[in-house]
Amino acid sequence: MAPHRARTLAAVLIVASGALVTGTADAAPQPHHLIPHPAKITQHTGVTFTLSPSSKIQLTTQKARPAAALLAETLRPSTGFALPITTGVTGGGIVLTTAADPKLGPEGYKLDVTPKQVVIRANSAAGHFNGIATLRQLLPAKAEAKTGQPGPWQVSGTSITDTPRYRHRGAMLDVSRHFFTTDQVKRYIDQLAMYKINYFHLHLSDDQGWRLEIKSWPELTKIGGSTEVGGRTGALFYTQEQYKDLVAHARSRGITVIPEFDMPGHTNAAQASYAELNCDGQKRPLYTGTGVGFSSLCIDKDITYRFVEDVVREVSAITPGPYLHIGGDEAHSTPDADYRTFMDRVLPIVRKHGKTTIGWHEFIKTTEDTEVIPQFWGTTSTNADVAAAARRGNEVLMSPANRIYLDMKYDKDTKLGLNWAGYVEVKDAYGWNPGAYLDGVTEKNVRGVEAPLWTETIRTSADIEYMAFPRLPVVAELGWAPASVHDWERFAPRLGAQAPRWKVMGINYHPSTQVPWTN
């Protein structure tokens, strides 16, 4: 009975791992299930690499060390193998080395599977991270397990040369409407890394909460970080040490953090913390609802700009990435002239502290600076201010709410989420072209895509995952894969084949009926 059971289990695991595990050496390669789809991939009949207890992760460049560490961290628990990281190539295993090909650019990589080795070649740490993300998906799904699993750990013969369509593939998490612990945020960051997302935008302040310690303005977190939507209370913020740890964690996954402090609207938490930030000198009450557009910093007071500069200075000092997001959306309580005055003073402050400004697209009407980056979050295919900026040479980040807002409900039965931008089923999230979506914003104007997840209705990691999976991998596909492979009929089975991986990882995904899921 026992051996029979074991055989049944092995068979089930092979099926569960998708089509990439070939049973015999001469089996024809199955279609690959990589997301995002690589720029160029060839599969080789009859070639299989098998990871063994003596396999090593071998480096010829220290640039590959962070990616090697992530690979070892992923594979050691599931395989039970030691997988030492060594310098120099002395035999079989996984080899991370340099690439002679300058066309790979800052993020590209090559991956070649031979019976003895998997070789990843890249010119940068980012390239190695991207190669590792691919290798993880070429291995059986159970390689992602946190506990020991039975092998074999096979990778079928494949040669890949890969570079991204866009250099910015982002995800945003709103930790203001509901606060998420560093462990919850790290869990999401780890999920982003599987799909070659390279920027993580943290929405750190809003009407309902101020979530990062600012040493020169301690009441921001003491008062402004004491509650959230729904009224839960506690120390609902990150100390600067915790934030640094989050940034380092993201970096260890090849991801750059972009912090956002939303202003001049969406500022009630700050106005509840300090009376002097209000024109009438009166503190505002804390807010635990989900309305928008009612708050504004006081545009005419000098202290407003001392406050902004202190925040920008402190956060810039602990943020190694080059970007700072200043929000700027829905400033319905700030008259247009005041909004312009505010931005005229704030944009130079960000520059003075060495960062490049990203903002929700409204702010772009106030400046002709071509270095700043508008993030389009509208639902229309025209926006005159964003088109004018693109004409001047600004790069645009695309987050159309009716396509890739992860907080939109899939359909009328989705329990979580909002629907102000409509329902966004998986096919809607996939069915648009970032390089030809907004009039006047062409492929060359697009910096990339970002999937925001606002959290008015989102409280737990399971909630985050339900909204992000499967739409986050969809956004990753749009941001990385060449436009030429865009095709729903071919994409849907690839997406469906991710499910065994998510099951192994305990990811709570939405089982959309549009997707042919692999069991």
Tell me, yes or no, if 330 is annotated catalytic.
yes
Please report whether residue 454 would count as binding ligand NGO according to CB under 6 A: yes
Nearest residue (CB) to ligand NGO, 164 versus 209 = 209
Provide the pairing of β-strand 40-51 with 153-162.
Answer: antiparallel
- C-alpha R_g of the chain: 24
Site pattern 41..80 for ligand NGO (x: CB under 6 A):
----------------------------------------
Distance CA 198, CA 210 (A): 25
Rounded least distance, CB 332 to ligand NGO, Å: 11
Looking at the Cβ atoms of 150 and 293, the one nearer to ligand NGO is 293
Classify residue 195 as left (phi > 0), alpha (psi -120 to 50) or beta: alpha
Interaction between residue 360 and ligand NGO (CB under 6 A):
yes
Q: How far is the CB of 337 from ligand NGO (least distance, A)?
A: 22
Q: Looking at 213, 330, 443, 450, which residue is catalytic?
A: 330
Between residues 291 and 354, which has the closer beta carbon with respect to ligand NGO?
291
Q: What angle do CA 379, 383, 388 make, to 5 degrees?
A: 150
Q: Which of 376, 491, 500, 495 is nearest to 439 (CA)?
A: 376
Q: At its nearest, how many Å lie between ligand NGO and the CB of residue 495?
A: 24
Strand ordering across the sheet containing 40-51: 40-51, 153-162, 109-113, 117-122, 93-97, 56-59, 85-87
CB of 499 to ligand NGO, least distance (A): 27
Q: Give yes or no for residue 418 binding ligand NGO (CB under 6 A).
A: yes
Residues 6+ apart with CB under 8 A from 219: 273, 274
Q: Does 405 bind ligand NGO (CB under 6 A)?
A: yes
- Considering only 330, 338, 369, 385, the residue that binds ligand NGO (CB under 6 A) is 330
Alpha helices by DSSP H, listed for 274-335, are 302-317
- List all residues 6 or more positions away from 496 whose beta carbon is below 8 Å from its beta carbon: 515, 516, 517, 518
Largest Cα–Cα separation, the chain? 80
Work out the angle between the directed axes of helices 125-138 and 65-79 (0-180°, nearest 10): 20
Residue 395 near ligand NGO by CB under 6 A: no
Please say which residue, 196 or 266, places its beta carbon nearer to ligand NGO.
266
Nearer to ligand NGO, 196 or 201 (CB): 201
**Contact residue for ligand NGO among 69, 292, 387, 485 (CB under 6 A):** 292
The residues carrying an active-site annotation are 330
Binding site for ligand NGO (CB under 6 A): 292, 329-330, 360, 377, 405, 407, 418, 454, 456
